[in-house]
């Protein structure tokens, strides 16, 4: 197998934004490994995607303990590729993982207890063959565990050297987000970043959460920015073989693609074409138009998709007429 050598011009075109009020800058496009990097996917395709992403200046790679499927397989595959190809570049990479959803049976393999978070990160580090991750997230709020316990666990993980920064994900309550941020500040480990769902059709974070993140100095990395591929031209015709919806082991369902939804997608696609972009590129640009968004998290199944996504950065501006038309379509 040939030795991977990263493109020497990789930092020449990618744009980076500061993450909240931290010392970290992230690429405007980050690579998510939720789907297409698990045990059912060819590892050489995953390798090609990671190579191409890094060559394009994408330095941030986002995982979680239960990514796959099956659970843990995305971290294991990423760890193998990392150790085969990227060891020389580890200090140029931001690697993140999470815990908060179900991972193993019994009362200690889920949610937000100190026991679960610490044990899960230890397992993640073993799977990826790493000494530390750059960012460790609590993946979702726990309605039963005291927030102080969860945030204290994140703080102790940083102090143990197993993570450099911490973040939270799926905390849609502005009050809970603010409280979590305040606890972490008092502990001396500020929250670096928040990962919510955000796209053209799901704008709930605009109802106060984005402003709270800005006030607290927390970065924002939205996931599902293409609505799991729906905000692309992928499903305008027949459902393509190999797509997420076509795969039996993914959570997406064909009946999500209603005629009403596909009509909206068609209208949005026309606006994108008028902008000289694909629908996916316009959807990415729309999310990134707001400077409060640090980076957009993208999942891909082929290297060409990451190339196309990065081209969205060539046209991030929207005029008022375009924004009004988009709002009218999705409302």
pTM of structure: 0.93
Predicted confidence at residue 190, as pLDDT, reads 98
pLDDT tens, position by position, 221-235: 999 999 988 999 888
Which whole number is the average pLDDT over 136-147?
A: 98
pLDDT at 255: 56
pLDDT-derived band of residue 245, with 50, 70 and 90 as boundaries? low
Q: Does 93 reside within a domain?
A: yes
- Has residue 267 been placed in a domain? no
Average pLDDT (232-255) is 61
The answer to whether residue 113 is domain-embedded is: yes
Asked whether residue 167 carries a pLDDT value surpassing 90, the answer given is: yes
**Four-CA torsion 229, 235, 241, 247, nearest 10 degrees:** 50
pLDDT per position as a tens digit, 266-305: 999 999 999 999 999 999 999 999 999 999 999 999 999 9
Whether the pLDDT of residue 145 is over 80: the answer is yes
Q: What span, in angstroms and rounded, lies between the C-alpha atoms of 79 and 84?
A: 8
Question: Which three-class secondary structure state does DSSP give residue 223?
Answer: strand
Q: Give residue 248's pLDDT band: very low, low, confident or very high (50, 70, 90).
A: low
Q: Residues 71-91: what's their mean pLDDT?
A: 98
Quick one: DSSP state of residue 319? -
Note the pLDDT of residue 237: 67
Neighbouring C-alpha atoms within 13 Å toward the C-beta of 175: 0
> Mean of the pLDDT values across residues 9-16?
96
CB 154 within 8 A of CB 182: no
Per-residue tokens: 58: 């994408």
Structure tokens at 12: 């020449």
Q: How far apart are CA 36 and CA 250, in angstroms?
A: 10
pLDDT recorded at residue 235: 83
Give the pLDDT of residue 327: 97
Residue 275 lies in a domain: no
Q: Give pLDDT tens digits for 29-52.
A: 999 999 889 999 999 999 999 999
DSSP 38: S
Q: Which residue has the tokens 């060891």?
A: 87
Mean pLDDT (the chain) is: 94
Q: How confident is the model at residue 134 (pLDDT cuts 50, 70, 90)?
A: very high
pLDDT-derived band at 258, boundaries 50, 70, 90: confident
For the stretch 188-217, pLDDT in tens is 999 999 999 999 999 999 999 999 999 999
Within a domain: residue 67? yes
Report the alpha-carbon distance of residue 205 to residue 196 in Å, rounded: 8
Domain count, the chain: 1
Residue among 205, 219, 329, 222 at smallest CA distance from 279: 329
Least reliable range by pLDDT among 81-85, 221-225, 253-257, 322-326:
253-257
The larger pLDDT score, comparing residue 258 to residue 179, is at: 179
In a domain, 81, yes or no: yes
For residue 242, is pLDDT > 90?
A: no
- pLDDT grade for 1, boundaries at 50, 70 and 90: low
Distances (CA, A) of 193 to 29, 79, 225: 15, 23, 16
CB atoms under 10 Å from CB of 279, counted, come to 23
* pLDDT of 243 above 60: no
CATH number of 61's domain: 3.20.20.100
- Show Cβ contacts of residue 58 under 8 Å, excluding neighbours closer than 6 positions: 14, 27, 29, 30, 31, 306, 310
Instruction: State which residues form the domain around 153.
Output: 16-228+291-301
* 163, pLDDT greater than 70: yes
User: Which tops the pLDDT comparison, 248 or 96?
Assistant: 96
In a domain, 156, yes or no: yes
State the pLDDT at residue 31: 98
Distances (CA, A) of 101 to 109, 110, 131: 8, 5, 23
Please give the distance of CA 162 from its chain centroid, rounded to a whole number: 20
249 domain-assigned: no
């Amino acid at each position: 197998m040939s030795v991977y050598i990263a493109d020497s011009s990789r930092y020449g075109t990618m744009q980076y934004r500061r993450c909240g009020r931290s010392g970290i800058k992230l690429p405007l496009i980050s690579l998510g490994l939720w789907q297409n990097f698990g045990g059912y996917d060819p590892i050489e395709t995953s390798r090609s995607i990671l190579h191409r992403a890094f060559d394009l200046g994408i330095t941030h790679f986002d995982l979680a303990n239960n990514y796959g499927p099956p659970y843990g397989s995305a971290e294991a595959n990423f760890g193998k590729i990392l150790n085969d190809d990227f060891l020389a570049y580890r200090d140029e990479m931001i690697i993140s993982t999470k815990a908060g959803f179900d991972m193993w049976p019994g009362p200690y393999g889920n949610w937000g207890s100190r026991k679960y978070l610490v044990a899960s990160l230890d397992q993640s580090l073993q799977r990826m063959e790493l000494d530390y991750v750059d960012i460790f997230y609590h993946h979702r709020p726990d309605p039963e565990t005291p927030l102080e316990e969860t945030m204290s666990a994140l703080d102790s993980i940083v102090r143990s050297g197993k993570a450099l920064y911490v973040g939270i994900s799926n905390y849609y309550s502005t009050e809970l987000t603010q409280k979590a941020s305040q606890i972490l500040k008092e502990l001396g480990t500020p929250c670096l970043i928040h990962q919510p769902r955000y796209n053209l059709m799901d704008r709930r974070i605009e109802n106060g959460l984005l402003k709270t993140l800005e006030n607290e100095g927390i970065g924002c990395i939205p996931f599902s920015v293409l609505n799991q591929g729906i905000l692309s031209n992928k499903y305008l015709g027949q459902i393509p073989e190999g797509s997420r919806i076509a795969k039996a082991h993914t959570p997406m369902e064909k009946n999500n693609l209603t005629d009403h939804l596909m009509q909206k997608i068609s209208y949005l696609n026309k606006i994108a074409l008028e902008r000289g972009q694909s629908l996916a590129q316009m959807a990415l640009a729309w999310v990134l138009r707001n400077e409060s968004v640090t980076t957009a998290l993208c999942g891909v199944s082929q290297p060409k998709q990451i190339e196309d996504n990065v081209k969205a950065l060539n046209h991030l501006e929207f005029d008022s007429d375009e924004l009004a038309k988009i709002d009218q379509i999705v409302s």
